[in-house]
Structure 1
Amino acid sequence: MIEFRGAGLRVDEYDIDGAHRQVTILDGIDLVLSERRVAVIGPNGAGKSTLLQMVNGLVEPTSGEVIADGVNPVQDPRRARRQAGYIFTDPRSQLVMSTPLADVELSLRQRIRNRAQRHQSALDLLTRRGLGDIAARSVHDLSGGERQLVALTSVLAVEPTIILADEPTTLLDLRNREQLRRAFEELDQQILCSTHDLELAASMDRVIAVESGRIVDDGPAGEVVARYRERMTRQADAGVSR
């Protein structure tokens, strides 16, 4: 379970003349997330990624706190990052080894000391995700969808209890988006996913809409997505009319 207790973030900013101001990224977020699959939707700059990054300590709130499976990421960031794996929008940001097999083996290094066992476990994990045939291929030769599934496999290798996915389908075509959606459905871990992909969001158990750093809607996926579409359409129409 993930809890946001009045969590907020204000950052310093300077204009081109050097004048200082504080900008609110998130403001007083109160949430208890117990559902297995939760999506966060909202416009660019709404604070979606920041919300996810607070869960494993990539970003520290300047007010309030976040508790993820009993761990405060500010107090124990190492444990928080072990239990909450982060998947970036572009998997090239996190695939650091030359092949999928080597990347997953790297994730297993702390948990499996024996090299032969680690190699076999990495291959088993990739095969389970349908990636066994590309295990030894260069990561540079993989499709976007293959890279994202390898990134997911590397994160799962450390056995987290929470998966944080930051707009994971942005760079994927329809087939690969569907493949990733199905992979999410099969996972036992709790998933918190920020996304512009409203089809992916609608497949989740719960959706939270964030705008200008605040929660503006929260509830069953289909209902929240439908209301979000209506709001964005109205705002687009208002912009065109001006």
Structure 2
Amino acid sequence: MTKADPQAQQKARLQLEAVSLEIDGRPILRELELSVAFHRMGVLGRNGSGKSTLSRLISGLVTPSAGRALLNGADMAADRRAALSEVGILFQNPDHQIIFPTVLEEVSFGLAQQGRKQRDAEAEARATLERFGKAHWAEVAVATLSQGQKHLVCLMSVVAMAPRVLVLDEPFAGLDLPTKMQLRRALGQFPGALIHVSHDPEDIADCDVCLWLDAGRLVEAGEGARVGAAYLEAMRKLGAGDDLSDLSG
């Protein structure tokens, strides 16, 4: 499967309208306000900044306590039918996503959820495996695959459903360098819009738009390289501090 032509990639629009989220009385996201169009969008932030929660909210898996999150004009949390065709999400841990014993069953599942007959879902699943050069994986037991291979199964499962937007929640976490490079190459084949959540600016270096979250607030949003550079500089300043010594004080 060849890399997607950047000129042919779909564009998406994300609108956050005074979005806030509390869990057990604790604020996670705080009055996020944004309207941005993108092909590739990065979401940067330290651990606990709220970026993974935002990815789930955008995908419709979490409902905000206040405000609305619209993807291409639709509220994914309120319209689950639209969510099935509009957005797919790739979690950090593939074991939290995979539920079936074989690769073919896993890739077929989402298609069946979209209303495909079982035979048609399996045919499309096999076609997807073929496009990724993994037709021989169809009857393979998922439990026998490596972590990187499981990530690829999840990616193929989502891509088979042909969402307009793919949300990636720290997809490279815990992967060695060769596996990370291979998964990045596979992601480059996706023709739709993409939202990539990460704490590492290098992961989102090719994004045209970037959001920077800290403590649930939107610090900055704009051109990817500029926001990524500002975030990296802030992280370098924090790294030069001596906060670790305060833990024992």
Q: Which interval holds the TM-score relative to the shorter structure? A: 0.7 to 0.9
3-state SS in 2 of match to 1:30 = strand
Tell me if the contact between 1:68 and 1:80 (Cα under 8 Å) persists in the aligned partners.
no
C-alpha distance in structure 2 between counterparts of 1:63 and 1:208, whole Å: 20
Aligned-pair Cα RMSD in Å: 1.9
The equivalent position to 1:2 in structure 2, one of 14, 17, 29, is: 14
Cα deviation, residue 113, structure 1: 1.4
Tell me if the contact between 1:181 and 1:200 (Cα under 8 Å) persists in the aligned partners.
no
**Which residue in the other structure is 1:125 paired with?**
128
**Which residue in the other structure is 2:220 paired with?**
217
Aligned length: 232
Considering Cα pairs closer than 8 Å and 6+ residues apart, tell me whether 1 or 2 has the greater RCO.
2
- 1:3 alignment partner AA: Q
C-alpha distance in structure 1 between counterparts of 2:51 and 2:213, whole Å: 7
Cα deviation, residue 97, structure 1: 1.1
C-alpha distance in structure 2 between counterparts of 1:111 and 1:186, whole Å: 25
3-state SS in 2 of match to 1:54 = helix
Tell me if the contact between 2:17 and 2:67 (Cα under 8 Å) persists in the aligned partners.
yes
C-alpha distance in structure 1 between counterparts of 2:124 and 2:15, whole Å: 33
- 2:186 alignment partner AA: A
2:113 paired with 1:113: no
C-alpha distance in structure 1 between counterparts of 2:181 and 2:86, whole Å: 26
Cα deviation, residue 40, structure 1: 0.5
Any gaps of 5 or more consecutive residues in structure 1? 13-21
- 1:44 alignment partner AA: N
Tell me if the contact between 1:26 and 1:212 (Cα under 8 Å) persists in the aligned partners.
yes
Cα 1:74–1:134 shift into 2, 3 Å: closer
Tell me if the contact between 1:41 and 1:196 (Cα under 8 Å) persists in the aligned partners.
yes
**Which residue in the other structure is 1:30 paired with?**
33
Tell me if the contact between 2:159 and 2:190 (Cα under 8 Å) persists in the aligned partners.
no
Cα deviation, residue 7, structure 1: 0.8
Cα deviation, residue 111, structure 1: 4.1
The equivalent position to 1:239 in structure 2, one of 237, 242, 247, is: 242
**Which residue in the other structure is 1:16 paired with?**
none
2:92 paired with 1:92: no
Cα 1:103–1:114 shift into 2, 3 Å: closer
- 2:104 alignment partner AA: L
C-alpha distance in structure 2 between counterparts of 1:74 and 1:53, whole Å: 10
C-alpha distance in structure 1 between counterparts of 2:223 and 2:133, whole Å: 31
3-state SS in 2 of match to 1:89 = coil
Any gaps of 5 or more consecutive residues in structure 2? 1-12
**Which residue in the other structure is 2:66 paired with?**
63
- 2:117 alignment partner AA: R
- 1:113 alignment partner AA: K
2:194 paired with 1:191: yes
- 1:11 alignment partner AA: I
Cα deviation digits, residues 109-136 of structure 1 (max 9, x gap): 2443152x43332111012123223232
C-alpha distance in structure 1 between counterparts of 2:124 and 2:60, whole Å: 28
